[in-house]
Structures are given as structure tokens and as C-alpha cells.
Amino acid sequence: QVYRRQASTRLAALEEAAEGKTASYQREILHLQRLLRERQEAEEKLLQSKRELEEELEVVWQAATQENQRMKETLLDSKVASDLHGWTLCGSATNVLPAQTSEETRSSQHQYKHGLDFYC
């Protein structure tokens, strides 16, 4: 009889401890689920921001590419116009205005060759 009472008391204590641990684990699970949900939301916000930034960067890149192409075309057009008038950029032709002396010619060619050759 005493043994049964002691065993019953110990069993009740063990069940109570198990219930306490179960409740504690449940609280911890809920806490971890909340943290996981918060981190997933933060990750989704970051991914959305990244997508938006990539889209903006693509727009800027396209605009810069178009501007570079426009500048290249403008430069080539001005080179063609200069070549038509007897001037050269990049020192590729030897035509110069007839009124120039040979010294002026060398100076002009030097100026254009070294002043604008980075565009060619």
C-alpha cells in the first residue's frame, strides 16, 4: 500500500514535470516559429528591394549605353565632317587646308592626333 502511494506520487510528479517540459517546448516552438516568420518576411522585403534595384540599374545601364552610342555617332559624324573639310582627327589622313604652311600643318596634325586620338 505504501509502495503504491509512493509510486503514484512519483508518477504524478513525473507527469507534472513532463507537462511542464511539454508546455515549455511548445512555447519555444511558438517563439521559434515567430522568429522564422519575421526572418522570412525580412528576407522577402530584401529580395523585393534587390529586384527593384536591379530594375533601376538596368534602366540606368540602358540609358548610359544609349548615351554612349549617341556620343560615338556624334563623334564619328564630326570626324567625317572634319575629313570632308580636309582636317583629320587621329592623324589618319594627310589632307590639310592649303593656306597652312608645313609648320602649321605639323602643329595642327600633332594637336588633333594627340588631343583627340582617345576618341578613335
Tens digit of each residue's pLDDT (9 = 90 or more) over 31-60: 999 999 999 999 999 999 999 999 999 999
**Is the pTM higher than 0.85?**
no
- pLDDT (0 to 100) of residue 79: 82
Please, which pLDDT band fits residue 78 given cuts at 50, 70 and 90?
confident
More confident residue, 47 or 116: 47
- In this model, does residue 28 exceed pLDDT 80? yes
**Residue 102 shares a structural domain with residue 47:** no
Would you call 105 exposed, middle or buried from its count of C-beta atoms within 10 A (0-12, 13-18, 19+)? middle
**Residue 57 shares a structural domain with residue 115:** no
- pLDDT (0 to 100) of residue 106: 53
Domain hosting 31: range is: 1-69
Minimal CA–CA distance to 71: which of 59, 82, 83, 79?
A: 79
Element (H, E) at 71: helix 2-84
**Residue 5 shares a structural domain with residue 62:** yes
Is 77 domain-assigned? no
Each residue's pLDDT tens digit, 103-115: 555 555 544 444 5
Number of structural domains (the chain) is 2
- In this model, does residue 19 exceed pLDDT 70? yes
Instruction: Report H helices in 85-99.
Output: none
